[in-house]
Amino acid sequence: MPIATINGIPLNYQVKGTGDLVVLIMGTGSPGRVWDLHQVPALVKAGYRVATFDNRGIAPSGESLAGITIEDMVRDVAGLIELLGGPAYVVGTSMGSRVAQELALTRPALVRKAVFLAGHARMDQFQLTLTEGERQLYDSGVELPSKYRAAITAVMNLSPASLVDQNTARDWLDVFEFSSGKVSPGVRAQLGMDREFDRRVAYREVKVPCLAVGFADDRMIPAYLSRELAAAIPNARYEEIPDAGHYGYLERPEAVNKVVLNFLAD
């Protein structure tokens, strides 16, 4: 993957396919290559040029250990789109949706359409408490046993529908158990971003076409927050994916890809 200096930091990115540009923005703690499992192949097959990248905080992009703001991340994506010759269709998930939302608001000339997977205009008390707990856990130096960490990750990010079948549950738990459980300093910087925001009034000014996608069984960003986001944005559409948790784009990729592709092509 090439690395370009964008907005004052090295940004690790890759581009696949040809056609209109689509930029995919990942959520907290995850590298851009996660999109390669399902979304990049589907978008390339549909005739798009697809860019993925590692957000600041995820090496080898700049880790920004002094702190990260949402404004930093919006400028990063804006710079990448300008580098690649936008405007672009923009798709984000979770924290990446928040970045895409702010980009659509502040730099509409760069955005053809925007899709927000597990998007949200605010966080409720549960998310605020959870994020503070994650920060305290990292700062304490405690490392959870791998099996316990795998179980917690599954419960928080998957639908119960993915855990009913014994073989499917075992596959997911194995992935979570053997993936790295250590939070890097860069991810800690991402966790330090402001979570006490409410952008419902601000998003009334979004003019670009938007789609908010909620995951019916999402515990991290409950679907009602994604519906609320769609209601705040004039003429935004809302779709809800059943039997999907926070990792709905991995659990139900065919369903997610279908609603995204239909929206981009409409």
Confidence of residue 180 (pLDDT cuts 50, 70, 90): low
Q: Answer yes or no: 246 catalytic.
A: yes
Q: Which listed residue (54, 162, 218, 226) is catalytic?
A: 218
The pLDDT assigned to 195 comes to 87
The residue from 159, 162, 226, 246 that is catalytic is: 246
Instruction: Provide φ and ψ at 123, rounded to 5°.
Output: -115, 145
Whole-structure pTM value: 0.95
pLDDT-derived band at 24, boundaries 50, 70, 90? very high
Label residue 74 by pLDDT band (50, 70, 90). Answer: very high
Q: At what angle do helices 95-106 and 70-84 cross, to 10 degrees?
A: 70
Catalytic residue among 94, 97, 162, 226: 94
Q: Is 218 noted as a catalytic residue in this protein?
A: yes
Cis peptide before 60 (omega within 30 of 0): yes
SS (H, E, C) the chain: CCEEEECCEEEEEEEECCCCEEEEECCCCCCHHHHHHCHHHHHHHCCCEEEEECCCCCCCCCCCCCCCCHHHHHHHHHHHHHHHCCCEEEEEECHHHHHHHHHHHHCHHHEEEEEEECCCCECCHHHHHHHHHHHHHHHHCCCCCHHHHHHHHHHHHCCHHHHHCHHHHHHHHHHHHHCCCCCCHHHHHHHCCCCCCECCCHHHHCCCCEEEEEECCCCCCCHHHHHHHHHHCCCCEEEEECCCCCCHHHHCHHHHHHHHHHHHHC
For 86-101, write each residue's pLDDT tens digit: 899 999 999 999 999 9
Assign residue 51 a region: left if phi > 0, alpha if psi is -120 to 50, beta otherwise?
beta
- Tell me, what's the pLDDT at 130? 92
Residue 203 has pLDDT above 80, yes or no: yes
Domains of the chain by start residue, with CATH? 3-123+196-265 (3.40.50.1820), 126-178 (no CATH)
**Is residue 179 flagged as an active site residue?**
no
| pLDDT of 104 over the 80 cut | yes
